[in-house]
Amino acid sequence: MNVIRRSSLLALCVLASAFALAQPGVAPPPLPKETSPLGPPVAQPPLPAPAPGTLTQTPKAVEANAGEPAPSRWQGALNQLDADLRLRLMTASAPPAAWLAGELDETDIPNQVRHYAQARTAAPDVALYQASLATACLVRTQPPLPECDAMDRLADWARRDRDNAVPAILLADRARQRGEIDLAAADLEQAALAPRVDDYWSQGALHWWNYLRPLPLDFDPAVKAKAAASYATSRELTWAPALRALCIESAAKTPRVHDACAKLGDTMMKQGATFALQRAGARIAEANASDAAARKAAQGAHARIIAATARCAEAQPDFAGELESAAPETRARGVEQFGAWANAQARDGEVAACAKLAAAR
Protein backbone atom coordinates (compact mmCIF):
# COMPACT_ATOMS: atom_id res chain seq x y z
CA MET A 1 0.00 0.00 0.00
CA ASN A 2 1.36 3.42 -0.88
CA VAL A 3 2.15 5.86 1.92
CA ILE A 4 0.39 9.22 2.16
CA ARG A 5 0.18 10.84 -1.27
CA ARG A 6 1.41 14.26 -2.34
CA SER A 7 -0.39 17.41 -1.31
CA SER A 8 -3.33 18.87 -3.22
CA LEU A 9 -1.03 21.44 -4.79
CA LEU A 10 0.78 18.73 -6.72
CA ALA A 11 -2.45 16.87 -7.38
CA LEU A 12 -3.99 19.93 -8.96
CA CYS A 13 -1.02 20.15 -11.32
CA VAL A 14 -1.75 16.59 -12.34
CA LEU A 15 -5.43 17.40 -12.80
CA ALA A 16 -4.44 20.14 -15.21
CA SER A 17 -3.23 17.48 -17.64
CA ALA A 18 -6.82 16.25 -17.94
CA PHE A 19 -7.75 19.70 -19.25
CA ALA A 20 -4.59 20.45 -21.19
CA LEU A 21 -6.55 21.19 -24.37
CA ALA A 22 -7.91 24.27 -22.65
CA GLN A 23 -4.49 25.89 -23.14
CA PRO A 24 -3.30 25.41 -26.73
CA GLY A 25 0.47 25.32 -26.99
CA VAL A 26 1.04 24.83 -23.26
CA ALA A 27 2.49 21.46 -22.33
CA PRO A 28 0.87 19.76 -19.33
CA PRO A 29 3.05 19.11 -16.27
CA PRO A 30 4.56 15.62 -15.96
CA LEU A 31 2.56 13.03 -14.09
CA PRO A 32 4.10 11.90 -10.80
CA LYS A 33 4.94 8.23 -10.73
CA GLU A 34 2.63 7.41 -7.87
CA THR A 35 -0.61 8.43 -9.63
CA SER A 36 -3.18 5.65 -9.77
CA PRO A 37 -5.10 4.61 -12.89
CA LEU A 38 -8.60 5.95 -13.20
CA GLY A 39 -11.24 3.29 -13.60
CA PRO A 40 -12.47 3.24 -17.19
CA PRO A 41 -15.51 5.44 -17.77
CA VAL A 42 -18.23 4.14 -20.05
CA ALA A 43 -16.97 3.69 -23.61
CA GLN A 44 -13.57 5.25 -22.84
CA PRO A 45 -10.12 3.72 -22.19
CA PRO A 46 -8.42 4.08 -18.79
CA LEU A 47 -7.01 7.53 -18.14
CA PRO A 48 -4.38 8.75 -15.67
CA ALA A 49 -5.99 10.12 -12.52
CA PRO A 50 -4.87 12.81 -10.11
CA ALA A 51 -4.33 11.99 -6.47
CA PRO A 52 -6.16 14.71 -4.51
CA GLY A 53 -3.82 14.47 -1.50
CA THR A 54 -4.27 15.53 2.08
CA LEU A 55 -2.49 18.90 2.06
CA THR A 56 0.19 17.79 4.48
CA GLN A 57 3.18 19.53 2.85
CA THR A 58 4.04 23.11 2.06
CA PRO A 59 4.52 24.06 -1.61
CA LYS A 60 8.29 24.04 -1.14
CA ALA A 61 8.13 20.55 0.29
CA VAL A 62 6.11 19.42 -2.71
CA GLU A 63 8.69 20.84 -5.11
CA ALA A 64 11.52 19.24 -3.17
CA ASN A 65 9.83 15.85 -3.29
CA ALA A 66 8.80 15.86 -6.94
CA GLY A 67 10.46 12.47 -7.47
CA GLU A 68 9.86 9.30 -5.53
CA PRO A 69 8.24 9.76 -2.09
CA ALA A 70 10.46 9.14 0.89
CA PRO A 71 10.03 5.60 2.25
CA SER A 72 7.92 5.39 5.38
CA ARG A 73 9.37 3.93 8.55
CA TRP A 74 6.01 2.20 8.89
CA GLN A 75 5.92 0.57 5.45
CA GLY A 76 6.13 -2.99 6.78
CA ALA A 77 3.33 -2.33 9.27
CA LEU A 78 1.26 -0.62 6.59
CA ASN A 79 1.56 -3.69 4.37
CA GLN A 80 0.50 -5.96 7.22
CA LEU A 81 -2.43 -3.73 8.06
CA ASP A 82 -3.51 -3.67 4.43
CA ALA A 83 -3.48 -7.47 4.24
CA ASP A 84 -5.50 -7.74 7.45
CA LEU A 85 -8.06 -5.18 6.28
CA ARG A 86 -8.66 -6.91 2.97
CA LEU A 87 -9.50 -10.12 4.81
CA ARG A 88 -11.66 -8.39 7.41
CA LEU A 89 -13.65 -6.38 4.89
CA MET A 90 -14.37 -9.24 2.50
CA THR A 91 -17.48 -10.10 4.53
CA ALA A 92 -18.34 -6.58 5.68
CA SER A 93 -22.05 -5.88 6.01
CA ALA A 94 -22.43 -2.73 8.15
CA PRO A 95 -22.74 0.32 5.85
CA PRO A 96 -19.44 2.09 6.69
CA ALA A 97 -17.41 -1.13 6.49
CA ALA A 98 -19.18 -2.24 3.32
CA TRP A 99 -18.31 1.09 1.68
CA LEU A 100 -14.67 0.68 2.71
CA ALA A 101 -14.66 -2.81 1.22
CA GLY A 102 -15.91 -1.32 -2.03
CA GLU A 103 -13.08 1.19 -1.96
CA LEU A 104 -10.54 -1.63 -1.69
CA ASP A 105 -12.18 -3.58 -4.53
CA GLU A 106 -11.33 -0.96 -7.16
CA THR A 107 -10.06 -3.59 -9.63
CA ASP A 108 -12.96 -6.00 -9.03
CA ILE A 109 -16.04 -4.18 -10.28
CA PRO A 110 -18.61 -6.88 -9.37
CA ASN A 111 -17.38 -7.03 -5.77
CA GLN A 112 -17.06 -3.28 -5.56
CA VAL A 113 -20.62 -2.78 -6.74
CA ARG A 114 -21.87 -5.47 -4.36
CA HIS A 115 -20.28 -3.77 -1.37
CA TYR A 116 -21.41 -0.28 -2.41
CA ALA A 117 -24.94 -1.61 -2.91
CA GLN A 118 -24.89 -3.09 0.60
CA ALA A 119 -23.94 0.29 2.05
CA ARG A 120 -26.44 2.17 -0.12
CA THR A 121 -29.31 -0.21 0.73
CA ALA A 122 -28.64 -0.19 4.47
CA ALA A 123 -28.11 3.60 4.62
CA PRO A 124 -30.05 5.03 1.65
CA ASP A 125 -29.77 8.66 2.74
CA VAL A 126 -25.96 8.82 2.83
CA ALA A 127 -24.90 10.74 -0.26
CA LEU A 128 -21.40 9.23 -0.29
CA TYR A 129 -22.86 5.74 -0.71
CA GLN A 130 -25.29 6.92 -3.41
CA ALA A 131 -22.45 8.57 -5.33
CA SER A 132 -20.08 5.63 -5.02
CA LEU A 133 -22.62 3.10 -6.27
CA ALA A 134 -23.78 5.35 -9.10
CA THR A 135 -20.27 5.94 -10.43
CA ALA A 136 -19.28 2.27 -10.07
CA CYS A 137 -22.33 1.29 -12.11
CA LEU A 138 -21.16 3.52 -14.97
CA VAL A 139 -18.57 0.85 -15.80
CA ARG A 140 -20.14 -1.52 -18.30
CA THR A 141 -19.96 -5.23 -17.56
CA GLN A 142 -21.14 -8.32 -19.37
CA PRO A 143 -23.49 -9.53 -18.17
CA PRO A 144 -24.86 -6.40 -16.46
CA LEU A 145 -24.58 -6.51 -12.69
CA PRO A 146 -27.91 -7.08 -10.93
CA GLU A 147 -27.25 -4.30 -8.42
CA CYS A 148 -26.86 -1.85 -11.30
CA ASP A 149 -29.63 -3.35 -13.41
CA ALA A 150 -32.18 -3.05 -10.61
CA MET A 151 -32.53 0.71 -11.20
CA ASP A 152 -30.79 3.63 -12.85
CA ARG A 153 -28.30 4.31 -10.06
CA LEU A 154 -27.04 7.58 -11.55
CA ALA A 155 -30.56 8.96 -11.95
CA ASP A 156 -31.34 7.81 -8.40
CA TRP A 157 -28.34 9.74 -7.07
CA ALA A 158 -29.35 12.82 -9.06
CA ARG A 159 -32.92 12.68 -7.69
CA ARG A 160 -31.71 12.36 -4.12
CA ASP A 161 -28.99 15.01 -4.43
CA ARG A 162 -30.81 17.62 -6.48
CA ASP A 163 -28.76 20.64 -5.43
CA ASN A 164 -25.44 19.01 -6.39
CA ALA A 165 -23.93 19.58 -9.85
CA VAL A 166 -21.79 16.43 -10.02
CA PRO A 167 -24.53 13.84 -10.77
CA ALA A 168 -25.95 16.18 -13.44
CA ILE A 169 -22.49 16.36 -15.03
CA LEU A 170 -22.32 12.57 -15.22
CA LEU A 171 -25.85 12.43 -16.63
CA ALA A 172 -24.79 14.92 -19.30
CA ASP A 173 -21.81 12.76 -20.27
CA ARG A 174 -24.02 9.68 -20.50
CA ALA A 175 -26.37 11.58 -22.79
CA ARG A 176 -23.39 12.68 -24.90
CA GLN A 177 -22.26 9.08 -25.30
CA ARG A 178 -25.74 8.17 -26.54
CA GLY A 179 -25.67 11.01 -29.05
CA GLU A 180 -28.38 12.96 -27.19
CA ILE A 181 -26.64 16.33 -27.39
CA ASP A 182 -29.66 18.46 -26.49
CA LEU A 183 -30.21 16.38 -23.35
CA ALA A 184 -26.53 16.69 -22.50
CA ALA A 185 -26.81 20.46 -22.83
CA ALA A 186 -29.88 20.53 -20.59
CA ASP A 187 -28.07 18.49 -17.93
CA LEU A 188 -25.08 20.82 -18.11
CA GLU A 189 -27.35 23.83 -17.75
CA GLN A 190 -28.92 22.25 -14.69
CA ALA A 191 -25.46 21.55 -13.24
CA ALA A 192 -24.46 25.17 -13.81
CA LEU A 193 -27.38 26.35 -11.67
CA ALA A 194 -26.59 24.02 -8.76
CA PRO A 195 -25.62 25.65 -5.45
CA ARG A 196 -23.19 22.83 -4.65
CA VAL A 197 -20.48 20.97 -6.57
CA ASP A 198 -19.43 18.05 -4.39
CA ASP A 199 -18.05 14.60 -5.26
CA TYR A 200 -17.79 13.74 -1.53
CA TRP A 201 -14.06 13.14 -1.81
CA SER A 202 -13.62 15.16 1.39
CA GLN A 203 -15.46 12.52 3.43
CA GLY A 204 -13.15 9.64 2.63
CA ALA A 205 -10.47 10.23 5.26
CA LEU A 206 -12.96 10.38 8.13
CA HIS A 207 -14.67 7.16 7.02
CA TRP A 208 -11.35 5.35 7.07
CA TRP A 209 -10.27 6.93 10.33
CA ASN A 210 -13.52 6.11 12.13
CA TYR A 211 -13.06 2.47 11.16
CA LEU A 212 -9.31 2.12 11.75
CA ARG A 213 -8.90 4.16 14.95
CA PRO A 214 -10.85 1.81 17.29
CA LEU A 215 -9.86 -1.38 15.45
CA PRO A 216 -8.32 -3.78 18.02
CA LEU A 217 -5.09 -4.45 16.15
CA ASP A 218 -1.55 -4.20 17.47
CA PHE A 219 -0.42 -1.28 15.33
CA ASP A 220 0.84 2.12 16.37
CA PRO A 221 -1.92 4.74 15.98
CA ALA A 222 0.39 6.52 13.56
CA VAL A 223 0.19 3.51 11.25
CA LYS A 224 -3.60 3.64 11.30
CA ALA A 225 -3.58 7.39 10.58
CA LYS A 226 -1.17 6.99 7.67
CA ALA A 227 -3.26 4.15 6.30
CA ALA A 228 -6.46 6.19 6.55
CA ALA A 229 -4.86 9.10 4.68
CA SER A 230 -3.43 6.84 1.99
CA TYR A 231 -6.68 4.99 1.32
CA ALA A 232 -8.67 8.22 1.24
CA THR A 233 -6.39 9.97 -1.25
CA SER A 234 -6.48 7.10 -3.75
CA ARG A 235 -10.16 7.73 -4.57
CA GLU A 236 -10.90 8.29 -8.24
CA LEU A 237 -12.29 11.52 -9.67
CA THR A 238 -14.87 10.07 -12.03
CA TRP A 239 -16.13 13.48 -13.11
CA ALA A 240 -12.78 14.51 -14.65
CA PRO A 241 -12.94 12.43 -17.87
CA ALA A 242 -16.64 13.27 -18.20
CA LEU A 243 -15.95 17.00 -18.11
CA ARG A 244 -13.05 16.69 -20.48
CA ALA A 245 -15.20 14.82 -22.99
CA LEU A 246 -18.10 17.26 -22.63
CA CYS A 247 -16.41 20.64 -22.40
CA ILE A 248 -12.89 20.28 -23.77
CA GLU A 249 -12.64 17.61 -26.43
CA SER A 250 -16.19 17.20 -27.70
CA ALA A 251 -16.27 17.33 -31.49
CA ALA A 252 -20.05 17.70 -31.34
CA LYS A 253 -20.04 20.69 -29.02
CA THR A 254 -22.98 22.85 -30.05
CA PRO A 255 -23.27 26.55 -29.15
CA ARG A 256 -25.71 25.55 -26.41
CA VAL A 257 -23.22 23.05 -24.94
CA HIS A 258 -20.43 25.61 -25.25
CA ASP A 259 -22.42 28.21 -23.30
CA ALA A 260 -23.50 25.65 -20.69
CA CYS A 261 -19.89 24.59 -20.17
CA ALA A 262 -18.81 28.19 -19.67
CA LYS A 263 -21.49 28.71 -17.03
CA LEU A 264 -20.68 25.38 -15.38
CA GLY A 265 -17.01 26.31 -15.17
CA ASP A 266 -17.93 29.51 -13.35
CA THR A 267 -20.14 27.56 -10.93
CA MET A 268 -17.41 25.02 -10.23
CA MET A 269 -14.86 27.75 -9.54
CA LYS A 270 -17.15 29.31 -6.97
CA GLN A 271 -18.97 26.32 -5.48
CA GLY A 272 -16.53 23.40 -5.80
CA ALA A 273 -16.09 21.60 -2.50
CA THR A 274 -12.50 20.63 -3.35
CA PHE A 275 -9.63 22.45 -4.98
CA ALA A 276 -9.62 19.82 -7.73
CA LEU A 277 -13.21 20.71 -8.65
CA GLN A 278 -12.47 24.44 -8.57
CA ARG A 279 -9.33 24.04 -10.64
CA ALA A 280 -11.21 22.01 -13.24
CA GLY A 281 -13.90 24.68 -13.32
CA ALA A 282 -11.33 27.34 -14.11
CA ARG A 283 -9.97 25.29 -17.01
CA ILE A 284 -13.46 24.69 -18.38
CA ALA A 285 -14.39 28.37 -18.08
CA GLU A 286 -11.20 29.33 -19.90
CA ALA A 287 -11.69 26.78 -22.68
CA ASN A 288 -15.29 27.90 -23.28
CA ALA A 289 -14.85 31.62 -22.74
CA SER A 290 -16.94 33.76 -25.08
CA ASP A 291 -14.28 36.43 -25.50
CA ALA A 292 -10.82 37.51 -24.39
CA ALA A 293 -12.13 39.26 -21.28
CA ALA A 294 -13.91 36.13 -20.06
CA ARG A 295 -10.81 34.06 -20.79
CA LYS A 296 -8.63 36.45 -18.81
CA ALA A 297 -11.09 36.37 -15.90
CA ALA A 298 -10.97 32.56 -15.84
CA GLN A 299 -7.17 32.63 -15.86
CA GLY A 300 -7.19 35.06 -12.95
CA ALA A 301 -9.61 32.84 -11.02
CA HIS A 302 -7.37 29.88 -11.69
CA ALA A 303 -4.41 31.73 -10.21
CA ARG A 304 -6.43 32.61 -7.11
CA ILE A 305 -7.42 28.95 -6.64
CA ILE A 306 -3.78 27.90 -6.78
CA ALA A 307 -2.88 30.61 -4.28
CA ALA A 308 -5.64 29.43 -1.93
CA THR A 309 -4.35 25.87 -2.21
CA ALA A 310 -0.86 27.03 -1.28
CA ARG A 311 -2.15 29.02 1.71
CA CYS A 312 -3.97 25.95 2.95
CA ALA A 313 -0.87 23.79 2.55
CA GLU A 314 1.16 26.32 4.52
CA ALA A 315 -1.44 26.66 7.29
CA GLN A 316 -2.03 22.98 7.87
CA PRO A 317 0.03 21.23 10.56
CA ASP A 318 2.57 18.80 9.15
CA PHE A 319 0.93 15.71 10.63
CA ALA A 320 2.39 13.57 7.84
CA GLY A 321 5.89 14.34 9.08
CA GLU A 322 4.93 13.94 12.72
CA LEU A 323 3.47 10.48 12.08
CA GLU A 324 6.96 9.40 10.96
CA SER A 325 8.64 10.67 14.14
CA ALA A 326 10.52 8.34 16.47
CA ALA A 327 9.14 10.28 19.46
CA PRO A 328 5.82 8.86 20.75
CA GLU A 329 4.58 12.28 21.89
CA THR A 330 5.21 13.76 18.44
CA ARG A 331 3.39 10.89 16.76
CA ALA A 332 0.48 11.31 19.16
CA ARG A 333 0.22 14.96 18.19
CA GLY A 334 0.27 14.01 14.52
CA VAL A 335 -2.50 11.47 15.06
CA GLU A 336 -4.62 14.04 16.85
CA GLN A 337 -4.06 16.61 14.11
CA PHE A 338 -4.90 14.12 11.38
CA GLY A 339 -8.16 13.21 13.12
CA ALA A 340 -9.08 16.88 13.49
CA TRP A 341 -8.33 17.56 9.83
CA ALA A 342 -10.32 14.52 8.65
CA ASN A 343 -13.30 15.71 10.68
CA ALA A 344 -12.99 19.27 9.37
CA GLN A 345 -12.88 18.13 5.75
CA ALA A 346 -15.85 15.80 6.17
CA ARG A 347 -17.89 18.52 7.87
CA ASP A 348 -17.07 21.49 5.64
CA GLY A 349 -15.46 20.12 2.48
CA GLU A 350 -11.81 20.60 1.62
CA VAL A 351 -12.04 24.20 0.41
CA ALA A 352 -14.14 25.52 3.30
CA ALA A 353 -12.07 23.63 5.86
CA CYS A 354 -8.91 25.14 4.38
CA ALA A 355 -10.39 28.63 4.48
CA LYS A 356 -11.20 28.24 8.18
CA LEU A 357 -7.74 26.88 8.84
CA ALA A 358 -6.04 29.80 7.11
CA ALA A 359 -8.30 32.35 8.83
CA ALA A 360 -7.45 30.92 12.25
CA ARG A 361 -3.72 31.49 11.84
Render pLDDT for 304-323 as a digit per residue (tens, 0 to 9): 999 999 999 888 888 989 99
- Examine the pLDDT at 40 and tell me if it is beyond 60: no
Q: What is the 3-state secondary structure (H, E, C) of 169-194?
A: HHHHHHHHHCCCHHHHHHHHHHHHCC
Banded model confidence at residue 252, pLDDT cuts 50, 70, 90: low
Banded model confidence at residue 27, pLDDT cuts 50, 70, 90: very low
Banded model confidence at residue 63, pLDDT cuts 50, 70, 90: very low
CA–chain centroid gap for 361, Å, is 27
Beta carbons within 8 Å of 219's beta carbon, 6+ residues apart: 77, 80, 81
Asked if 174 and 157 count as a contact pair (C-beta separation under 8 A), the reply is: no
Average of pLDDT values for 117-121? 97
Banded model confidence at residue 253, pLDDT cuts 50, 70, 90: confident
Banded model confidence at residue 50, pLDDT cuts 50, 70, 90: very low
Q: How far apart are CA 274 and CA 47, in angstroms?
A: 21
Average of pLDDT values for 44-58? 32
Beta carbons within 8 Å of 45's beta carbon, 6+ residues apart: none
The pTM of this model reads 0.81
Asked if 285 and 269 count as a contact pair (C-beta separation under 8 A), the reply is: yes
Asked if 229 and 338 count as a contact pair (C-beta separation under 8 A), the reply is: yes
Render pLDDT for 270-288 as a digit per residue (tens, 0 to 9): 999 999 999 999 999 999 9
